[in-house]
Each structure stands twice: as C-alpha cells, then as structure tokens.
Amino acid sequence: MSRVGKAIINVPDGVTVAVNGNEVTVKGKLGELSQTLSDAIEVKQEGAELSVTRKNEEKQTRADHGLHRALIANMVAGVSTGWSKKLELVGVGYRAQSQGQKLDLALGYSHNILFEVPKEVKVETTSEKGKNPIVTLTSHDKQLIGMVAAKIRSFRKPEPYKGKGVRFVGEYIRRKAGKTAGK
C-alpha cells in the first residue's frame, strides 16, 4: 500500500469537504477548489478525517492512490492557510512592478514584459535598495501558483556563469567556471 496514499488527511475547522462520486469539493475561508478523481479511487469522510483508498491493485491505480491523496491534502491546506511562492530577480537593472493583476518585468530585454496574472493569484513586489527585487505570489491553489511561478521564471531562467535571471528564493544555482585567461 502507498505510504502517502494511506495517510489520513485531517480537515481543520472552517473547512468543509463534499464528496460526490469521484468529485471532491473543498471550501474554506480562502476559496473553493474541486478535483475529479480516478474511478478506481475512493474517498471516505469520518468526522474531521478523510481517507483515500483504492478499489483494485492495478499498476495505474496504485500510482494514482498517492497522487490523489496528495492533491486532496494540498486543496485542504490551500483553502485553510494558502500557498505562497517568492521569486528573486538577480541582475543589474532587473525590476518588477505590479499594478493590480498585471506584472511589469524589466529583465534586460529591449522591452518590458507585461504578464497578466490570473485573478486567483495575488501578486506583490518589493524592491529595497541594495537588494534584489522580490515577487511574492499567494493563492489557495497550489497547482495554479506553481504554473504562474514557472511561467515568470521562464522569461529569464538563471544562467550558470553569473547566476543572473529569475529564480526562486533559496534556489541553488549550479555555477560553471567559464573561460580561463589566455596563455
């Protein structure tokens, strides 16, 4: 049995979970999320606990067991506490400004990049003198916030020689030595 799949999901106060066939809907103070599960996965609710079980022992069902349990746990955590990702802009002249749901990025190109952030994701930018600009994304949907952060990072991925680019805060960039001096 899957170690992840057999773990119990504790539902905190203020969060309601509705299981309708293979559709799971989670509501909380930060929003509402729903997920369609595989037909071979079953979710049972006993009080403030959720358990995820599988109906057969096929290879795909065993693979889906832990996945669906993790998706439900992420939905419960998202609507109760929320998720957050921080991106750091490393490079001379790299800037970020947010106006509502629009993110204006200056990443060393001849033009600024205007990125429309989905309405479920809240974006904030901070710029302190002497420090790299930081873009903070917060949302109740972990999948969506990960996709938005990956899209912003793809505008200028960190390069291995100087480390310039958009990276996650705390991300380790493997550096290369570069050219050595001539003879």
Q: Which structural domain range is residue 131 located in?
A: 83-168
CA quadruple 134, 135, 140, 143: dihedral sign: negative
Residues 63 and 130 in one domain: no
- Residue-wise pLDDT for 35-92, tens only, equals 999 999 999 999 899 999 999 999 999 889 999 999 999 999 999 999 999 999 999 9
Residues 59 and 96 in one domain: no
Residues 101 and 149 in one domain: yes
* Reported pTM: 0.88
Say which residues have a Cβ less than 8 Å from residue 140's Cβ, sequence separation at least 6: 28, 30, 31, 33, 78, 79, 82, 83, 120
Residue 172 has pLDDT above 70, yes or no: yes
* Residue where one domain finishes, among candidates 62, 80, 98: 80
Least confident piece of the model among 3-7, 17-21, 29-33, 60-64? 3-7
Cα–Cα separations (whole angstroms), residue 116 to 17, 99, 113, 123: 31, 10, 10, 10
- Residue-wise pLDDT for 98-114, tens only, equals 999 999 999 999 999 99
Per-chain mean pLDDT for the chain = 92
